[in-house]
Structure 1
């Protein structure tokens, strides 16, 4: 294979890795956000129970 062909293949592989990393990061951020919302709701319920009792 010639150098330009290998360069194109390497660039395509690098782009695939970057896109896969972005997808994992976005999914991870979504999970972290959901966990933060759940923790906040739980804390709110705990405070509500403490005030009512």
Structure 2
């Protein structure tokens, strides 16, 4: 039963990530923004 719940949770998270960036370009932009945020927080 725990295995089923874990798989369902993984599927939901994956679907949320996929729906958040509908295209490869969108995914690249999301990753770039994340990198920029890390740089800002590091003081660079």
TM-score by length of 2: 0.49
* Larger fraction in helix: 1
TM-score by length of 1: 0.41
Q: Which has the larger radius of gyration?
A: 1
